[in-house]
A and B are shown apart, each in its own frame.
Chain A
Amino acid sequence: MKTIIQTIFQRYWHPYTALILAGLLSAIYFGLTATVWAVTGEFTRFGGHILQFIGVDVSDWAYFQLVHLEGTTWSRPDGWIVWGMFIGALIMVLYSNSFKIRLPQQKRRYVQGLVGGIIAGFGARLALGCNLAAFFTGVPQFSIHSWIFIVATGIGTFFGAKVTKMRWWKGKPSLMRGAAAPSKVNKHVVQPYVGGVITIAYAALVIYFFASGKTLLGFGALFGLAFGILIERGQICFTSAFRDLWLVGRSLMAKAIIAGMAISSILTIIVIVLYDIPPITKIAALSTFVGGVLFGLGIVMASSCETGMMYRLMEGQVLYLTVFIGNIVGATFLAYAWDHLGIYNLLVKSGSPINLLDSIGPIGAIAATLAMLGTLYGLTVYWEKRYQRNMQMKRGAKTHAS
């Protein structure tokens, strides 16, 4: 029993485990609710509510009509997905006794987080999704916009990685001579008890939703919680999946995400065919590409995407408060620019929603999707091997010289 508890609550899970579970759950969530796991649409609505609160009339903003700015975050399943994710991540952090206020040593990180967060929030909403609806839960819906978005995110993160390597950006570490003392450890462990209290309160809320017939809110709250648990335990990070591939040839997270999408696609196609639920298709246009590049650049600058930010904030990493604020500011600015600054006419209007199911049927759609994911997997392995070859040559040269 003790070892089970340790494995679940005190060790991080293998990214493959977490992402395959996330892929399965997101397909089941789609089957139950006909909506997908997504977060940035809700962030945009947060921005809308803040504007309303300070007295701005947003009723005629086209983007808020597009994302249905109605009710409050507490009355929307999408809202409970977000709050559930925060709470799921938080209770896992508490159970593993790993909450700690972590303040960046270098002040420049706050500016980087804010600026990166704004660019990522703007880009994600321009493309009509972030690493979820235009990526992880977009590919299994067979919506072509997610294919464009993945390629564009790859390009954006590549340039983002170049920026983070520059001296003025990355700053200087505190490297000292000799050994240094680690932090004092508090012997009294209270965090798991706080986690237990929150779990009980949240369970009561979920039961209330189902008992009072608010089934969709109940599903939102429950699946949000599960997604929160998975992103924290698996330390799921879409930013690192790309960035670490470019920076240090690290491929584990990228491969796990691809595997999760493959499993999710297979289950989703079964759900769509069996239950005749229409897939969620978003507009594929120039905006998808531009948004993806901006999103990729922004998440590397901010050191986190919109989902990674959520569990890192719950871990007590204060930096991600600026990223969260940036995401909302960026998404809200896009909502303004959509019609007021002509973004829709310039980048979106010429596009159209394209779904593989409509163009090539279910067999073709799943075959094409798996082939595309297989290609991505192959490219990832190729890049990792290429990096390792270069590294060995560099190390070999160093050894010979010394």
Chain B
Amino acid sequence: MQAEKKADFTLDLRGESCPYPVIYTLEALEGMNEGELLQVITDCPSSFRNVPEEALKHGYTFAQDPVKNGQEYLFYIYA
């Protein structure tokens, strides 16, 4: 499960609780240039569902499937 492209930015959200994972992810994506890749590391269980769903709804695409890494998830999202 290697990212096809190296991430341009990483958002380390370990320890952050909702709603901040969603807010931070959307804000980071908004501030990036189109086509750049964001890696998100999060361990808040609610964010496992709401971060990918909100990123998709806001029109961003995923570079690959989410990776479950123990008690955390990794997301790779194109801005």
Contact = CB atoms under 8 A, between A and B. Distances in A.
Interface of A: 12, 97-100, 102-106, 109, 164-165, 170-171, 173-180, 182-183, 185-186, 235, 237, 239-240, 243-244, 247-250, 252, 303-304, 312, 315, 317, 319-320, 388, 391, 395, 402
Contacts of B18: 237, 239-240, 303
Interface string B42-79: 01111011100110011100000001011110100000
Interface string B22-37: 1110111000001000
Interface string B1-42: 001001111111111111110111011100000100001010
Interface of B: 3, 6-20, 22-24, 26-28, 34, 39, 41, 43-46, 48-50, 53-54, 57-59, 67, 69-72, 74
Contacts of A98: 45, 71
Nearest to A388: B57
**What is the predominant secondary structure among interface residues of chain A facing chain B?**
loop
A97 B71 contact: yes
Contact of A183 (B6, B16, B69): B69
A235 B22 CA distance: 16
B19 A243 contact: yes
A252 B57 CA distance: 13
Contacts of B13: 173
A386 to B, nearest CB: 14
A211 to B, nearest CB: 36
B45 A12 contact: yes
Given A102-B44, A178-B7, A237-B46, A185 B19 contact: no
A250 B3 CA distance: 29
A239 B50 CA distance: 14
B45 A165 contact: no
A182 B41 contact: yes
A369 to B, nearest CB: 29
Contact of B17 (A173, A179, A312, A402): A312
6 contacts: A175-B11, A176-B9, A240-B19, A240-B46, A250-B54, A391-B58
B12 A176 contact: yes
B8 to A, nearest CB: 7
Contacts of B10: 175-180
